[in-house]
Each structure stands twice: as C-alpha cells, then as structure tokens.
Structure 1
Amino acid sequence: MTTPHITADVRRKVSLASAIGNFVEWFDSAAYAVMSATIAALFFPEYDKSAALLATWAIFAGGFIARPLGAAFFGRYGDRLGRNRMLALTILTMSGATFLIGILPTYASWGMAAPILLFLLRCAQGFSTGGEYTGASAFIVEYAPEGRRARFAAAVPVTVGLASVAGSGVGFLLTSTLSAGALESWGWRVPFLLAAPLGLIGLYLRSKVEDTPVFRSLEKHDEVESAPLREAVRRNGRQIATLFGYSITNAIGYYLMSSYMIAYMSEELSYTKSESQITNVVSMLAYSVACLFAARASDRFGRRPMLIVACAGFVLLPLPAFWLMGSGLAGAMIGTSMLAMLVSVIGTSNVPALVEMFPAKVRASGSAIGYTAAYVLFGGTAPFVATGLVSASGSAIAPAFYMIVIAIVSLIVVLTSFKETRNLRLDRVTDTPEPAARA
C-alpha cells in the first residue's frame, strides 16, 4: 500500500489545523485546574479548606472516568470513519462541556446539584479528551515527512504547553486584577466561557483539511478494519501494555507539573495565588520551548534512547526539584521548569511512538487504549494522590517520591519491552516491521 505525495503547503495547513484544534482542546481542560482553588470554595463551601480542595481534585479525577469510554468510542470512530471526523467531534464535545461549566450555578444557588453537574460536565470533557490527544497525534504524524516525524508532531505537545500557558496567563490576570468578591462572582467563569469561540475556530480549521493519506489509502484499498478495537486488543496487546507502562510517567509528570503545582504552591508552600500562576506560566513556557529541541533529538537518536533519558531523569531529579520549590520564588520557577523539561523529553517521543507502534488499521484504537488507560489511572489521580500524600505524611516533598517510584517502573518497561519505532512504515497494515521508505 502506498500513500500519495504530500506538498509542503498541505503539511503547513495540517500543522495549523492540528495545532489550533489541540490548543483549544487543552485550553479548555486547563481552565478547570487554573481555577481549582476558587472552585473549591464555591462548590464545596461546607468543607474545610483541605477537604474542599481534595473534593475539587476528586472531581478533576472524575473527568478521567469517562476517558476510557471516549478512547474506545473515538478510537473506533477514527479507524472506521476517519481521523479528521473524529477530531471535529472531540472539539465540539469539549467546547460545549466547558462552556456549560462557565454558566453553571454554584452550591449557593443549586445546592448539591451544582457539584454533581460539575462532575458530569467534567466527564463530558474527559470523554472528549479520550480521543483528542492520540487522534491529533495520528492525524499529524500520518502527514509528517519521513525522518522528521517527531519535529512535525511537536505541534501536539507544544500546543498543550501553550494552552496551559494561556490558561495560567488568564488565571494570573484574573487573580491579580480582580477582588476576591469579583473573582468568586464572575471572574472564575471567564476561561470556561472562552471555550465557545475558540471551539468554533478550531472546528473551522479542521474542516478545511482532508483526512490523512494513510486513512485515504486504507479506504481506497478497502482495508478499513470493521472491528478495530477488538483487533487492537487481540493482535497488539504487547504494544498497548508497553505504551501504558511508560505513559504512566508521562501522565503523572504532566499533571503534577501543569495542574497540581498551582494549588500546591499556594496551599502547601504559602506562595500567593499570583506567584503560583506566574511560576506555572514560566514552567509551561520552558516545557513548550524544550519540546522543540527534544523533538529534534528524538528524530536524530530515536524514540527509545529519549524515553530512557526521560524516565531516568524522573528517577533522579524530582527530589532536587521539590526542594527548590520550597526555597523561594526563583527556586520554585527553576524546580518546576526542571520537571517541565523532563515531561517535554518523554512527551515529544511519545507522540510519534504511540502512532508508529500500531498498524494503520487499528492505530487510533490501539494508541487510545494504552495511552488513555495510563492517564485515567495515574494522570487524573495524580493531583489527588499528591495532595493526600502531603496531608498524610506532613511532608511537602512527598509527591517527589511518588514520581520516582512510577518512573522506575516506566524505565524497566522501556528497557525490556519497547522496540525502536522511528523507521517503521506508517502505512503498514500488519505488525511486520517494514522500514520506512526514504525520499
């Protein structure tokens, strides 16, 4: 099976559509984390401060409950009906759910119905996210030129980082300029209400790009799999398990860095909300810039060496990073940026690898299962577990030990199970390790 020639102009359009669509998706998701402390006070006013924050993170984790359903649904959808159609539906679902959170009445108005509805809308967000990241990864990598897949696909993790920067920037602007009363009255809603116009822009851009040449070739040769989810589990169990095994470190690292640190710095380390927000902006900018360099290294040296470096880094550096966070604002920026750059190393190799690991016919389904399972079990629960560990141990650096243990597991998985994927053909329909054709 061969794929059609792709022009540089088409690739630019694909990059723009993927980048902006992914930005919209993750800005919406970041909005909840940015306003977590305010949401805790508005939706759980009868709890003490720590219990309210735990309840807020529990609802954050609850959004991950729907991710497996979203992964199964959108993975099957993408393998049967196309990557682009799948991504259009994910952005509509995410934007709609996030906008509804922005107009949701609080506990003072609706009582217990308010946190229940918040939980359900978080589930809708999670359902969408279950298909977005791996779907966007497949879409952009299947358009990428040989030998530059990681660099081309860096648009996915970079826009995740920039979305968090934008979300934190909006949060910083709101918390630093509004009074406490204004923030609780209407200010917290602003990031969520932005979902509607941003979602429409992303949907428009994605509608202007054809589906990937790999999927169009599958359709042309009548090789679209009728039951991709079942076939992925039956034939690609090793790849799914391997992807899960190292993605758990990616998941914990990202969500502790992006979602947990804002509340952690203000609640546990006594920084102001504004200081916490600006530190998050700095670390996410470091992440976004580092992704560009890490992606080039991944294309040069391969996915496996970069995954080993990242996992080893998560074994060695969390303790120094957490110590720095407690040493002052400058130290906090350095410590969070250290973790951010480690996440960039693992993330920029994970994006092309999760696509390359699977044959074309089951790619969206197989990658969604392994990657999403890691994020459901470890990413979504990371802020809750970290908060609980600090509370139970009385130690502000307890989350560092959690990261180290998980990273050791992932390092073992990469060393024993991950097979280099950099040179595999993307249009293969079986697990036969065909090398990529060189231009």
Structure 2
Amino acid sequence: MSESLKSESLWRRLGRRLGLVKDDEPRRLTVDDVTVVDRPMLRRAVAGTVVGNLMEWYDIGVYGYLAVIIGRAFLPDASEGAQALFSLGVFAVTFVARPLGGIVLGQLGDRLGRQRILAFTLIMMAAATFLIGVLPDYSVIGVWAPILLIVLKLAQGFSTGGEYAGATTFITEYAPDKRRGFYASLLDLGSYMGFAVGAAFVSILQLTLSDDVMQGFAWRIPFLVALPLGAVAIYFRLKIEDTPAFQEAQDSAKRAADEAQASADAPKGVFALIRSYWRELLTAFVLVAAANTVGYALTSYMPTYLTGTLGYDPVHGTLLTLPVLVAMALCIPLTGRLSDRIGRRKVLFIGSVSAIVFAVPAFLFMMHGEIWSTVLGLVLLAFPVTFYVANLASSLPALFPTSSRYGGMGISYNLAVALFAGTAPVVMEALVQWTGSSLAPAFYVIGTSIAGFIAVIVLKESARRPLPGAMPSVQTIEEAVELVETQDENPDLDLDELFPERVEAGAPDEAGARDEAGGRVETGERA
C-alpha cells in the first residue's frame, strides 16, 4: 500500500513536469512528503540534549543552593540581609546576559546549525562554572572578587541564553508530531534533575563537613566538578547530527536562491523577526515569565527563603527541596505525554490556574514551621511548575517556522527569564524585607500567573500537528500511509497551511477569511 501511494506521488510529480498534470489542481499530501523519524538518531538526540541540559542547570542550581555561603565569602563585612541580597543579585546578573546570548546564539543557530551552537554553549558554561570554583574570595583579592564573580556569571548567562532555546528547537524538530510533548518534556526532566543533583551534592557536603570547612573551601567542590561533567555532556552532544528540519530548510533555501520565495525561507534578522512575529514573541514572553517565576521560586529562592526567612539551618534549607525536585522531575514527562492527548492549552491552563490557587496556601504551609507542612507547601508550589514547564518546550517552538525558530525562542524565552524568572529570587527576598511579610512572594507568583492565564487563552493549539513551515512527522511508514489516507478528515492536518499555494490559487475572500482565522501562513519546507 505504501509503495503504491509513493509511486502515485512520483508519477504525479513527473506528470506535472511533462505537462500531463495541471498545476492548478489542489496539492495533496503524499507519503514521500511525510518525514518518518529515524529512531536511533532520535534516541541519540534526546540523550545528548537531556544530558547537556542536566549539566547546564546543575551549574545554575549549585549557585542557588550555595548562595548564602557565597554571600559571606564575597561580601564578608556586610549584614546578613545585604549578603543574601548580594548573592541573589549576582544570581540575577546571570539573566542579564541571557537575552544577548539568546539573540546572538539564536541567530547563529538558525544559520550555522543547532548542533554546533549547542556544543559551544556547553563548553562555555563548563569553563565559567569551573572558574567560579577557583576564584579567590574577598579575603584574598578584595573588591575584585565580587567583580570577577559577576563577570563569570555573565558568561554563564550568555551561554544559557542559547542553551534552552536551542535544546527545545532541537528536540521539537526531531520528534514525531504525536509525541512531541513527551519528548520535549524530557528536556525539563533533565533541567530539574540537574537542580536535584546539585542539591544532593551540596546536601552531602553540608552533612559530612563542618560549617567552617564548607565556608573555607568545600563550597568550591560542586563548581570544580562541572569540568568533568561538562566533558561527558559535550561528548554526548557531539554524537548527534543536526535536525532533518534544519537540513531541509537549508536545502530549500539553496534551491530557492534564484526565486522570489528565497527571502521568506531564509533566517530573519533580529528586527525583521520582531516585525514578523511580534504576537508570537509576546505570547511566548508572557508564558515563560509566568512559568519560570514559580519555577525559580521553587528551585533557586527556596533555600534562601527557608534558611533566611523561616529560620531553617542550611542543611534543611537544601535537603527539604530535594525529594520534591526529584518527584517533580519524574512527573514532568507524564504531563508532557498528557499534552499529546488532551492538548497543550488544557495542560497549560492547569498550570496557570493551580499557581493562582495554590500560591498562598503553599507559603502558609511553609510558614507553619513543621517539616511536614514545609514539604507540603513545596509540593503545592511544585504542582503548577510540573504542568507549566513540561509543555513550554513543545508549545513555544511551534509558534515559529523552522527558519526563525531558534532566533524566536532565543529572544522571547531569554527576555522573559531575564526580566522575571532570573530576578524572581531577589525580588521575592526584597518584598519579604520591605513588607515584613513572609507571604509576599505568593502574591508575586499570583500576579505573573494571571498574565500567564491570559496568554494561554490566545495560544494556538499545536498538539499532534506539524510544526509551522514543516511537513508532518511520524514514527513509522504505516503511520505515514494512514495519514495520507485520512488527510481530508484529519482535524490535526490543515492542507492549506502545508501547501500555501492552495490558498494563493483560491478565491481572494476565502483566502482572506482563512488568514484571519488561522494567522500567517509560512512557505512550507519538509521536516
């Protein structure tokens, strides 16, 4: 059956070239249009990207869990409150460089390839993290210590600016349409396992070593470990090839070099990208801000909040978050799979509504002061994160076409985390100190998630559907055959989006109505 369908499509193309088939006949989906995913390459792509993501967020998480100690080492003469604000402020500095990294590396990723840029981000992150581990503190080089710390955190931020945008682009372009939510969610499994590994490492050091030893040298050990971890992650990442979607987009651009459509297929510059996709960029920006505000409240702010505000010792401040992070990380692929079944928007609605409803109870339980109530509060905070972050990785890349996907993700994601997520810990701590209320961070979470709820309303559903500007992607040839046979009644296929020439050949009023209902239609390229 598949061979006959494929032969039919080949004869149709030959007939069109010979003039036996009319060009004005509506374009139909054929089996050779559909991309059948190379499973071994998909497994290598997932492994390489997840391991790299784990290493990147291990580096980021370790600093959050050692923020109190680092504040004392690099600003010893300040008050405890000032030390906490300094260490969290330096953490926020990381996110200042992320938009620049997202813009620069995103543009390069759309031109040079996803794989090359993702290897570069790992090398840069591993080197910067290792150098933090060997950086002399204030007692040795004085004011240069905090200055150099800020420089290295800026380097980390530049690297991370290209990491998540590139990783999500990479996985979504490799994954089959019906399982894109599941495969993309594995990235955030790696991210939060990276946080968890960092928390576990720091906890083991705190449990086995004295406070003086931790303050003196041992805090550096988790940073030094980044170098061998980075080498392993880079090895995995170099074993994978660039995505079929990117390779086909490059080939299409070369084939269309002398045609008018070449400019539509080529990667856009920063300003052209903003002009063309400002609605998509704004939607992504708001969703990322909402999801990562509650996400970074849980991962990066909690150790400081539990220790500085609620009075837990540093060991418990780190250790209490560990089981919650592990449980949440393991649940993230489940919500990713759920989005493949019921849709991305429904799952994101659960994330935004639960953040609004659970924020105040979560902080009230933690303020109760018992171990059980603190863990319960952390679980309530982790619940919306699980539904939020698992679906951003599959929802956001689907807003942009292949030729501008890395760049679009780089701008929207990193601007949002720079302005809201990265600053969440320092803003929440400042709110606590300014208002004197331990409940103040909850209202910050509520405010951002109300905006996130509105963004989900305008978000276009992308579950089980081809990425913009790409042909359908499936796991087996049998799925491809079934897709072709059912293309007229399949609700997840829009032939007018797959083949824009159908719209151009139609009546003007019909095309205008379709454009108004479905938004901009990009020139198609095979996935």
TM-superposition CA deviations, 1:133-186 (whole Å, max 9, x none): 111011111111121101111211001110011000011011111111110121
Aligned pair partner of 1:406 in 435, 439, 448: 448
2:398 counterpart letter in structure 1? E
CA distance in 2, matches of 1:24, 1:70: 18
Where does 1:57-72 land on structure 2 (aligned, <5 Å)? 57-72=88-103
Give how far 1:2 is off.
5.0
Aligned pair partner of 2:389 in 330, 334, 347: 347
CA distance in 2, matches of 1:75, 1:378: 20
Give how far 1:230 is off.
3.3
CA distance in 1, matches of 2:148, 2:197: 26
Give how far 1:246 is off.
1.6
Where does 1:32-431 land on structure 2 (aligned, <5 Å)? 32-222=63-253, 225-327=266-368, 328-415=370-457, 417-426=458-467, 428=469, 431=520
CA distance in 2, matches of 1:69, 1:154: 25
Q: In structure 2, what is the equivalent of residue 432 of structure 1? A: 521
CA distance in 2, matches of 1:259, 1:226: 35
1:432 counterpart letter in structure 2? V
CA distance in 1, matches of 2:249, 2:339: 28
TM-superposition CA deviations, 1:283-303 (whole Å, max 9, x none): 211220220221111111111
CA distance in 2, matches of 1:37, 1:164: 17
Q: In structure 2, what is the equivalent of residue 17 of structure 1? A: 48
* RMSD between superposed Cα atoms in Å: 1.9
CA distance in 2, matches of 1:336, 1:370: 28
Give how far 1:354 is off.
1.1
Give how far 1:436 is off.
12
1:101–1:170 distance in 2 versus 1, CA, 3 Å:
same
TM-superposition CA deviations, 1:176-231 (whole Å, max 9, x none): 11111110121100111011111111111111111000001012222662544333
- Secondary structure of the residue that 1:271 maps to in structure 2? coil
Which moved further from structure 2: 267-276 or 359-368? 267-276
CA distance in 2, matches of 1:125, 1:287: 25
Contact preservation (8 Å) 2:294, 2:385: yes
CA distance in 2, matches of 1:218, 1:134: 18
Contact preservation (8 Å) 2:291, 2:452: no
Give how far 1:424 is off.
3.8
Q: Percent identity?
A: 34
Contact preservation (8 Å) 1:78, 1:135: yes
TM-superposition CA deviations, 1:399-439 (whole Å, max 9, x none): 00111111112112222x2111224422617942899999x
1:435–1:287 distance in 2 versus 1, CA, 3 Å:
farther
- Secondary structure of the residue that 2:521 maps to in structure 1? coil
1:403 counterpart letter in structure 2? V
Contact preservation (8 Å) 1:172, 1:277: yes
User: Normalising by the residue count of structure 1, what TM-score does the alignment of the two structures yield?
Assistant: 0.96
Which moved further from structure 2: 43-52 or 327-336? 327-336
Gap runs ≥5 in structure 2: 1-31, 255-264, 471-496, 498-519
TM-superposition CA deviations, 1:376-410 (whole Å, max 9, x none): 00011101111011111111111001111111121
CA distance in 2, matches of 1:391, 1:287: 29
Give how far 1:365 is off.
0.5
CA distance in 1, matches of 2:196, 2:87: 21
1:435–1:212 distance in 2 versus 1, CA, 3 Å:
closer
CA distance in 1, matches of 2:90, 2:251: 44
1:348 counterpart letter in structure 2? A
CA distance in 2, matches of 1:228, 1:81: 14
TM-superposition CA deviations, 1:322-364 (whole Å, max 9, x none): 1111221111112112211211101111100111110000000
Gap runs ≥5 in structure 1: none
- Secondary structure of the residue that 2:310 maps to in structure 1? coil
1:359–1:226 distance in 2 versus 1, CA, 3 Å:
closer
CA distance in 2, matches of 1:437, 1:319: 47
Give how far 1:114 is off.
0.2
CA distance in 1, matches of 2:418, 2:228: 28
CA distance in 2, matches of 1:43, 1:264: 20
CA distance in 1, matches of 2:372, 2:526: 48
Aligned residues: 437
- Secondary structure of the residue that 1:190 maps to in structure 2? helix
CA distance in 1, matches of 2:119, 2:326: 27
User: Normalising by the residue count of structure 2, what TM-score does the alignment of the two structures yield?
Assistant: 0.80
1:270 counterpart letter in structure 2? G
